[in-house]
Amino acid sequence: MTDIRQQDRRLFARELTRPYRLIGLLLSYAILYSFRGFLGHDLVVLLGLAAVPAAVWLTSSHSASVQTRFYNKRYEAMWKGCQDRLARFNEVIGKMRRDQIADLYEMPKTIRRIGDNLYAALRRADMIAYEVHLTEEGVLSAPPSWQAPSEDPQAKELYRLADRNIAEYRQQFAGVMAGVHRAEAQSAVYMTTLDTLRMKMIGYRLVGKNPDMSSQDFLEALSEAKLQLHAIDQALDELDFTQMPKMVAVIPPAVPEHLQQGNP
C-alpha cells in the first residue's frame, strides 16, 4: 500500500496547489482582513474565522483528489461495484441475529479485509494499465518490420536478435497485463460471491424458520462463499505486478568462416 499512499499524497498536493484554489484562499483572507475592524479583537473569533477558508481549501482539495485516484473510469466503476455489494451485504447481515449462524461473526471481517486488498490490487492494475497505454500504444500491434538487405553474417545475426527481442517484448507485455486482468477477474468474483451470499441470507432470514425449509442449503452456501473468498484472498497475495526481465541473453556475433580456420 506504500505506493498507493504516495500516489494519493501526490494527487492531494496537486489539488492543493491548483492556482484557482490558492487564489480563492488568498481572496478569502483578503476579504477577512478588509473587515477586520468590524470583527472586533476577540482572538478566538478571529482564529475561528481564519480557519474557515483553510478548512474549505483542504476539504475541497481532498475531495477532488479522491475523485481522480483512478486513471481509468472502468477500474473506478469496478471498485464502486465492490463497495456497493459490500454495503448491501452489511445491510442484510445487520438484520440477522449473529447467534443464528456462528460463521457470520467472522465472515464480515474477512469480506472487508479482502475488499481492502482488492482495492489495492485495482489501484495498481489501474496505474500499470495507464503506464502501459501511455508508453506502449501502437507498439504491440505494429512492431518494427524489415527485410535483411544483405547476406552479411553480422547483419543477419543482428536481425535475428531483433526478432528475438520482439518475441521477448510480447512475452513481457503479456506477463505484466496478466496481473491486471487477474485483478479485474477477482473483482468480478468478489461481487458475484457477495450477490449470491446476500440472496441466500435474505431467504434464510425470511423463511428459515419454516419447518419445510432446511437450513442445509444456507450452510452449504456459507461454506462455498468462504472457499471463494479464500481463493480471492490467496490470489491477491500471489499477484505480481513487478514482472521485469532480470537479464537479457546476449548472443555473440557470428565469426566469419575464414577467421575460424585461422586464415588471414
Residue 141 lies in a domain: yes
Q: What is the mean pLDDT of residues 194-217?
A: 69
Distance CA 41, CA 48 (A): 12
- List all residues 6 or more positions away from 4 whose beta carbon is below 8 Å from its beta carbon: 120, 123, 124
Distance CA 134, CA 137 (A): 6
> What per-residue confidence (pLDDT) applies to 80?
93
What is the total count of domains within the chain?
Answer: 2
Nearest CA among 81, 103, 80, 82 for reference residue 93: 103
This prediction has a pTM of 0.71
**3 state SS of 248:** coil
Percent of the chain clearing pLDDT 70 (strictly above): 72
Residue-wise pLDDT tens digits, 134-175: 888 777 667 677 666 667 788 878 888 888 888 888 888 888
Q: Which amino acid, 181? A: H
Distance CA 93, CA 105 (A): 10
Show the CA angle centred on residue 40, arms to residues 35 and 42, nearest 5°: 125
Domain-ending residue, one of 36, 52, 69: 69
51 and 107 inside one domain: no
12 and 142 inside one domain: no
Residue 175 lies in a domain: yes
185 and 57 inside one domain: no
> What per-residue confidence (pLDDT) applies to 131?
87
Residue 260 banded pLDDT, cuts 50, 70, 90: very low
- If you average pLDDT over every residue of the chain, what do you get? 77
Tell me the C-alpha to C-alpha distance, in Å, between residue 243 and each of 22, 173, 180, 184, 258: 41, 9, 12, 18, 43
37 and 82 inside one domain: no
Half-sphere exposure (CA, 13 Å, Cβ side) for 197?
28
Q: Kindly give the interhelix angle for 19-34 and 43-67, rounded to the nearest 10 degrees.
A: 170
Strand spans (E) along the chain: none
> Picking from 77-91, 109-123, 214-228, which range would have the lowest pLDDT averaged per residue?
214-228
